[in-house]
Amino acid sequence: MVKGENFFKEVLSCAGVTVNGRNSWDIRVNDNRLYARVLREKNMGLGEAYMEGWWDCGRLDEFIFRVLRLRLDEIVKGGLLYLLRFLPSLLFNLQSKSRARMIAERHYDLDNDLFVSFLDPYNQYSCAYFDGTEDLGQAQINKMNLICRKLNLSPGDRVLDIGCGWGGFSRYAAEHCGCSVTGVNISQEQLRFAGEFCKGLPVTLLDCDYRKIQGTFNKIVSVGMFEHVGQRNYREFMEVVNRCLDGDGIFLLHTIGSNESSVNCDPWINKYIFPNGMLPSVAQIGRASEGLLNMEDWHNLGPHYDKTLMAWNENFQKAWDRLKGKYDEEFKRMWEYYLLSCAGAFRARSIQVWQVVFTKSGSVQPACRF
């Protein structure tokens, strides 16, 4: 018997997962070194071993869901080297001004063709809203429309889009609501794409760290960017919003969130997908906004991100024949592990997606729940 094999199998059996079993969520072990690696390195070892072909699974998303639903990941403690990975986030500000562009350079600047291959026509790289539809494109339009309604966007509004991505929401708001939009981003590839995508519309795009934003706006939105701010900077982010928001304005924050406060991110995600990422908790968002902004509405869209990620993976798999000239098999396995493991995590309710509406003190409460 290989070291750790019995314990590994016993833990997975609690979730109804059998090693080399017949169910779609059962894993097939191709290299027996997997057992000791996972016990030593937890999800870092599990993810890297998948990338290297040490194991396979017909329904990776369902496997992760079953493990996380019972919180079986907490049974495995990991070795010292695994635990040391969390030390920098305890000691340093990993999302400081000098380090802020790391995420753009290593992820968002990766390749516009890659992202376009699996996203919707508006290139929304955030949770869609599958309300009355199973189509990803329509679900992303639903999401943008929901945001516009919560912000009560109207002709003449001055909108600040913090972390505007490829310009999808900026374009949608300008086209459908008649407002002018200032999109802020630090990804050169996204800004280049957004410039073409929003050409001819009242959309201004700025290469600017959020901490340096100037001007005032009566509507502010940030979708899928707060995950890169970091807990040491949450308060400063809210101070910027408070400074830039008109007295009767509305701010909508759309972010992935954690059920528990922490100062770190999953180490595999941090290394391979989102360097220096961090998921805020309800308490951390509350503390950051306390005394600055009124919280008007808190809407959990978490189950919709499960569907979004599954749709992205389906599109990615269909596009692989076109992409494989640029990327190798290990990249493919890394990307599908990212998409499917995250889908399983949302399905297990281990992580959430929140839309939080804020106003300034003294404002009239907006009709922000639809």
CATH homologous superfamily of 97-360 equals: Vaccinia Virus protein VP39 (3.40.50.150)
- Does the pLDDT of residue 264 top 90, yes or no? no
pLDDT tens digits, one per residue of 328-349? 999 999 999 999 999 999 999 9
Which strand (E) or helix (H) includes residue 294?
Answer: strand 293-300
Task: Compute the distance between CA of residue 367 and CA of residue 359 in angstroms, rounded to an integer.
Answer: 12
pLDDT number for residue 96: 57
Mean per-residue pLDDT over the chain, rounded: 91
pLDDT tens digits, one per residue of 61-116? 999 999 999 998 787 766 545 444 544 554 455 565 656 566 667 777 778 999 99
Task: Compute the distance between CA of residue 188 and CA of residue 191 in angstroms, rounded to an integer.
Answer: 5
pLDDT number for residue 68: 94
Catalytic residue (one of 57, 164, 244, 342): 342
Identity at 1, one-letter amino acid code? M
342 is an active site residue: yes
Task: Compute the distance between CA of residue 312 and CA of residue 326 in angstroms, rounded to an integer.
Answer: 19
Task: Compute the distance between CA of residue 313 and CA of residue 351 in angstroms, rounded to an integer.
Answer: 19
Packed helices 34-51 and 329-347: angle between N→C axes, nearest 10 degrees: 110
Instruction: Please choose, from the candidates 130, 174, 169, 132, the residue with its C-alpha nearest in 3D space to the C-alpha of residue 252.
Output: 169
- Token pair 């030593």 is found at 40
Domain coordinates of the chain in residue numbers? 5-84, 97-360
pLDDT tens digits, one per residue of 212-253? 999 999 999 999 999 999 999 999 999 999 999 999 999 999
What lies within 8 Å, CB to CB, of 262 at 6+ separation is 231, 278, 279, 281
pLDDT number for residue 276: 85
Lowest-pLDDT choice from 17-31, 85-99, 280-294:
85-99
